Structure 1
Amino acid sequence: MTPPIVVHPPDADGGRRVMAHAEFLGRAFRREDVAAFLRHVGLSDDEIQLDDPNLIEWRGGGPDVWHGG
């Protein structure tokens, strides 16, 4: 099963597209941005676990990778 949240690889500006079930939530530039997008779609702080592979698929590096090529 694919996680409902996908964080794409960093772009040249270091931003990462964040998607929820194929819906674009925005571009994140840090971990806190991803958490804010998840709160916006209804997750509570207790539900937001950025290292949970059942919740988030990190492409092109994990939650500590924010530099693009």
Structure 2
Amino acid sequence: MSNYEPLDCLPPSYSAVMAEKEMGQWNMNIHQSMYEAQKMINLVQLQCDVLQWKNSCYLKQLKELTARNT
């Protein structure tokens, strides 16, 4: 008979518990960072859409002016 308990019956070590807590915080930070990054991507996409719309308006005006002058 062995004097050692099976490993799955031992309580988790302090470092394992702390590592799990830190990983939980790290995962929260990753999710927050991903959320913030997605907000920035959406903002940049909106800015691109607005610029594209403005460019199409300017192009239309340029075509109208060119048509008048010819």
Specify the TM-score bucket, using the shorter chain as the normaliser.
under 0.3
Which of the two has higher C-alpha Rg? 2
Q: More relative contact order in 1 or in 2 (CA 8 Å, sep 6+)? A: 1
> What TM-score comes out, normalization by structure 2 length?
0.22
Question: Which of the pair is proportionally richer in helix?
Answer: 2
Question: Which of the pair is proportionally richer in strand?
Answer: 1
> What TM-score comes out, normalization by structure 1 length?
0.23
